[in-house]
Structure formats: C-alpha cells, structure tokens
Amino acid sequence: MSSQPEVVEAQPRPDSSRGKNEARRLRRSGRIPAVVYGAKKSAVAISVDPKQISRILHSASGHNTIFDMNVNGESSKGMVVDWQYDPLSGKLLHIDLKRIAMDEKIRVSVPIHLVGEAPGVKVQGGIMDQVLREVEIECLPGDIPSHIDADVSHLEFGSVLRVADLPHGGKLEFVTDEQQTVAHVTHVKEEVAPAAEAAVEGAAAAPAEPEVIKKGKQEAEGEGEPAPAKK
C-alpha cells in the first residue's frame, strides 16, 4: 500500500439524482455516480472524481488499496469493490466503495507473481504453466499485500507448486484450497502430430492412385487397340 493514501472526496447524492439521465449529467460535470456501504452502516449514494479512482485502480496495490474517504464530513477508510467501464471509451461509469474497519479481517484476492528460474525449464527444456494467477486470502486491511511471490526455482518435471507452498508470514490465511495447483512445468509440445497425420493421409490416398492410372491405361488401350487385320 502507498505510505500516503489517496483521499477520496465523496459528495452525497439526493434520491432525486438517481436514474440514467441524472447519471449522464453527473458524468458531464466531471464526476461519476457511486455507492458506499459496509461497517454496519446504511448504503449511501455518492459521487466521486473518476481521476482519483483511476489512480487507485492503476496503483501497485490496485483495487486492494486502502484509502481515506470523506463522505458528508465523515471520514473513514475505504476500498474499491466494484467498478464499471464504458466498453467504447474506456471511461469509468460507476463505482462501489466499501467502508473498512482496520481492526477487522477482510477477504480479498491478490495476484501471484512467479519468481526464479525453474530447472525444469532451464535444464530440462520444459515450459512453465501458471495455473492460478490470483489467490483469495483473509487478513487485516493493513496486511494486504500488493501481490504474493511464488518461488519456482526448485520446480522440475513432475513437481508442483501449490497454494500451501506460497509464503504468507503468518499474517494472512488462504481461503483458496491450499492443495490447488499454482504452477508446474510441462513438456514442450512435440510437433509430430502434423507429420503423422500427413503420413496417414498419404497412406490412405495411396490405393486410389493406381486405380486412376489403371483406369486411364485401360481407356487408352481401348482407344488405341489396332483393328483386326484384313484377310
């Protein structure tokens, strides 16, 4: 997380501001509709600056970033839990925010980064297959990592890196099944299938070739057969 968290200044929206037309007007003014909930409080319709939210989503910790949030004079910690983009323009359309209690554990998904060079790739000529790219964890908000490093420097053919093998330092618990495969080394796909297929096709086509030639030969012989000699 950033040492100087982003401060999101949210403005409450009255019930009369709901609806597509009001949302369009809000976006034209430079803000986007949002809703904030959690911490055993009622959900509140708000508007936020999309530039602030974009900076949060594109930071190192992404949507797991904990930031300060001011709503109608009340300050709290918050997280982005859902967001919508315009498929054509790529602009943010709507944001869901959640109030966070720093002394209560929460569940989040964090990315997995493979580190190290596996002998199965470097020496044995295999390829690295990363099966799991995110893992769900439970921890205090202040302990959420931006990512988890998975050391693959010991992986050879036949060995598997599982969720249980990931480092966690005792500050977090894995919610994802610990026996689930994170990565393993597989054999390089041999390019023999096309050649074998061509050979099979060639073998299947071979009997038809003599028949065509034989048929043509018979027709030629019929056409060129000499007339019986006159007595």
**Domain coordinates in residue numbering, the chain:** 7-101, 107-186
Q: What is the pTM of this model?
A: 0.69
The per-residue pLDDT for 74 is 84
Q: Are strands 32-38 and 92-100 parallel, antiparallel or unpaired?
A: parallel
Residue identified by tokens 């037309």 is 21
The per-residue pLDDT for 15 is 63
The per-residue pLDDT for 91 is 92
- CATH of 107-186, picked from 3.20.20.70, 2.170.120.20, 2.60.120.10, 1.20.120.160, is 2.170.120.20
d(CA 1, CA 9): 19
- CATH of 7-101, picked from 2.40.240.10, 3.40.50.261, 1.10.10.10, 3.30.559.10, is 2.40.240.10
Q: Which tokens belong to 191?
A: 């390019």
pLDDT in single tens digits along all 231 residues of the chain: 444 567 899 998 876 556 788 888 999 999 999 999 988 888 999 999 999 999 999 998 899 999 999 987 888 999 999 999 999 998 999 999 999 999 999 999 999 999 999 998 888 888 999 999 999 999 999 999 999 999 999 999 888 999 999 998 788 999 999 999 999 998 865 554 555 555 555 555 555 444 444 444 444 444 444 444 444
The per-residue pLDDT for 161 is 96
Scanning 85-186, the segments in alpha helix (DSSP H) are 119-122
d(CA 185, CA 156): 6
